[in-house]
Amino acid sequence: MSFKDRRRKTLQQGGTFGRYLPTSNGTGHLVYINKGTLFAVPLDPDKLEVRGTPTPLLPEVAYNAATGFSQLDFSRTGTLVYQSGGAAGLFTVQWMDAAGKTQPLLSKTGFVGHPSLSPDGQRLALTITERSTDVWVYDWHRDTMTRLTFGGGSNDFPV
């Protein structure tokens, strides 16, 4: 949607949780979720037009079919963090490198959600539900978790 004149333009049918990821050459990609799979398609940001065919990047990303919300985030450098699986259950937070190899980020599996990377990609904010849902920050260089809220509610969404 244009902020100037409020015109709407559909860039890709069937996608939710769309994000623009710029590249170093001034173009970028539109990434989005479709039925739990992360897709990317080249995007011309000046003309607001997709260029080419969408490519599936990653299956089984947690998402909410009712709202379109997905459990993923990108840093400014393009690092992806996501929650695998479906809409409910226990999840493992994982890093995925440029080659598509994943490794567990947190040692324990749990009810985690709403991952949000720091702009430098060094820390991860997320919600963890034990007795209550609270916001935590994971520093992966130090392998430490810091709890930010105590006795929070289910409406805590870290940014």
Q: What is the pLDDT of residue 88?
A: 47
Model confidence at 87: pLDDT above 60: no
Mean pLDDT of the chain: 83
Q: What is the pLDDT of residue 65?
A: 66
Report, as an integer, the average pLDDT of 116-136: 85
Report, as an integer, the average pLDDT of 109-113: 71
Q: How many residues in total does the chain contain?
A: 159
Residue 112 CB neighbour total at 10 angstroms: 23
**Cα 156 from Cα 81, distance rounded (Å):** 18
Query: In the structure, what pLDDT confidence band is assigned to residue 53 with cuts at 50, 70 and 90?
Result: very high
Query: In the structure, what pLDDT confidence band is assigned to residue 31 with cuts at 50, 70 and 90?
Result: very high
Q: Per the structure block, which two tokens stand in for 48?
A: 């607001």
Q: What is the pLDDT of residue 24?
A: 79
Model confidence at 66: pLDDT above 80: no
- Angular region, 35: left φ>0, alpha ψ -120 to 50, beta rest: left
Q: What is the pLDDT of residue 54?
A: 95
Q: What is the pLDDT of residue 106?
A: 76
Q: What is the pLDDT of residue 140?
A: 82
Question: Secondary structure of the chain in the HEC alphabet?
Answer: CCCCCCCCCCCCCCCEEEEEEECCCCCEEEEEEECCEEEEEEEECCCCEECCCCEEEECCECECCCCCCECEEECCCCCEEEEECCCCCCECEEEECCCCCEEECCCCCEEEEEEEECCCCCEEEEEEECCCEEEEEEECCCCEEEECCCCCCCCCCCC
Q: Check if the beta carbon of residue 68 is closer than 8 Å to that of residue 62.
A: no
**Where are the chain's structural domains?**
1-59, 61-159
Q: What is the pLDDT of residue 154?
A: 59
Greatest alpha-carbon span in the chain: 49
